[in-house]
Structure 1
Amino acid sequence: MKLILRADDLGISEGVNYGILKAIQDGVISCVGLMPNMESAKHGYQLIKDLDICLGQHTNICLGKPVCSPDLIPSLVNENGEFYSSHDINHRQEDTINILECELEIEAQLQRFIEITGQKPEYFEGHAVFSRNYLQALENVAARHHLFYDNPMDQQWQKQYRIQSLDFFAFDESGLYDPYQYFESQLSNIQRNECSLVVFHPGYLDQYILEHSSYTLIRPMECEFLCSQWLKDWLKHHHIEVASFRDYQ
């Protein structure tokens, strides 16, 4: 039995960067996704660059400014030249994202990733947007550059790579959940699968996150849980091996 523990949002803010660093050094995170367009992306990479971690691109088209000139990607940006929010995109009745424009921005973020890290991402996926056009653009760019495309919501992808995504968390009215109870509830799924995948958003809070993210209190809570002795003992007791996308390429 194997389990991939993925941390998203490296680069979204300095506070999150420090929390992800702790979740790698003192916890069990095996894969980290960098958001190349964000102002704190370089800061985040510098913190974790010497650690043995599988580093991917967490492509972002719903927060902050694009890497491309806004004039080239009008379907992705508002009148201020900033991305539309994920809430706005995901609640549209019609998918108005232009695939070719989206590919331009994804390509630009890939080049920014390479500029920051000196290497191609070890896996490739997207942040917070469920548009079919966006996912198609991600898949197209990944294929063009021979990148490992991570799409755990796609059953065909799960079958191809023999990686099963665990159930989504059930949030309470505070936007939190009980991670200990969650892992206990997912044990039978983990034992049944060759490899399972679960995604976290560890981090510390700063003003940017409080103003720009719906994920707030969940971040330090997950950071503490991922570093807990309980989780390390639980994985060992159930003979669950921590894996990464490197094992499936």
Structure 2
Amino acid sequence: MKIILRADDLGISEGVNYGIFKAVYDGMVSCVGLMPNMESARHGYDLIKDLDICLGQHTNICLGKPVSDPLKIPSLVNENGEFYISREINHRQQDTVDILECELEIEAQLQRFIEITGKKPEYFEGHAVFSKNYFQALKNVAKRYHLFYDHPMDENWQKQYHIQSLDYFSLDDRGLYDPYQYFESQLPNIQKNECSLVVFHPGFLDQYILKHSSYTLIRPMECAFLCSQWLKDWLLKHHIEIVDFRNYQKE
């Protein structure tokens, strides 16, 4: 049995960066996604660059400013030249994301990723937007640059790589869930899957997150869980091996 523990949102804020660093250094995270367009992206990379971690691009078209010229991507930005937020994009009745404009921004973020890290991402996926056009643009750019595209919601992708996402958890009125109970409930799925994937958003809170993100209390909670002795003992008890996307890149 194998499992990938992915941490998203490196670079979204300094507080989240410190939490992700702890979740890698003291915890069980095996993959981390960097948001190249964010102001704290370089700060986040500097924290984790010397750790043995699979580092991917967590492409972002719904928070902050684009890397490319806003005038060239009008379907993605508002009158201030900033990205439309995910809630607005996901609730539109039509998919308004222009594929070619999206590819332009994705490629610009890829170049920023390489500028920051000195290398290509070890996996490639997107943040918080559920648009078919967005997914197609990500897939197109990944193919063009020979990148490992991570799309666990796609059944064909799951079959190709034999990686299954675990069931989504339900958040309570505080935006929290019980990660210990969740893992116990998902044990049968982990046992039947060749490899399972769980996505987390560990981090510490700062003013940027409190103002711009719907994920607040969940971040330090998940950070504590990922660093817990309970999780380490639980994985060992059930003979579950932690792997990352580097195990699948050449398949």
Aligning the two structures, in what range does the TM-score lie when normalised by the shorter sequence? Answer: over 0.9
Corresponding residue for residue 186 of structure 2: 186
Distance 2:109 2:164 in 1: 27
Q: Tell me by how many angstroms 1:235 deviates.
A: 0.1
1:167-206 aligned within 5 A? 167-206=167-206
Does the residue aligned with 1:5 lie in a helix, a strand or coil? Answer: strand
| Number of the residue aligned with 1:12 | 12
TM-score, normalising length: structure 1? 1.00
1:1-249 equivalence runs, <5 A: 1-249=1-249
Shift of 1:247: 0.5
Percent identical = 82
**Distance in 1 between residues matched to 2:12 and 2:67, nearest whole Å:** 15
Give CA-to-partner distance per residue, 1:176-198, whole Å, 9 cap, x none. Answer: 00000000000000000110000
Return 217-226 or 167-176, whichever deviates more: 167-176
SS, match of residue 209 in structure 1: helix
Deviation at 1:218, TM superposition (A): 0.1
SS class of match (1:3): strand
* Alpha-carbon distance in structure 1 between the residues aligned to 2:44 and 2:166: 27
Q: Spell out, residue by residue over 1:144-197, the C-alpha distance to the aligned partner (whole angstroms, 9 max, x if none).
A: 000000000001100000000001111111110000000000000000011000
1:109 to partner: Cα distance: 0.1
Distance 2:108 2:36 in 1: 9
Q: Once superposed, what is the RMSD of the aligned Cα atoms?
A: 0.3
CA shift digits 1:25-55 (9 cap, x unpaired): 0000000000000000000000000000000
Distance 1:218 1:96 in 2: 30
Residues in 2 aligned to 1:195 and 1:123: alpha-carbon distance in whole angstroms: 16
Number of equivalenced pairs? 249
Deviation at 1:60, TM superposition (A): 0.0
Distance 1:95 1:129 in 2: 11
Distance 1:41 1:191 in 2: 36
Unpaired segments ≥5 residues, structure 1: none
Opposite residue 120 of structure 2, the aligned amino acid is: K
1:65-122: CA deviation from partner (whole Å, max 9, x where unpaired): 0000100000000000000000000000000110000000000000000000000000
Instruction: Provide the secondary structure at the position in 1 that maps to 2:199.
Output: strand
Q: 1:162 is aligned with what amino acid?
A: H
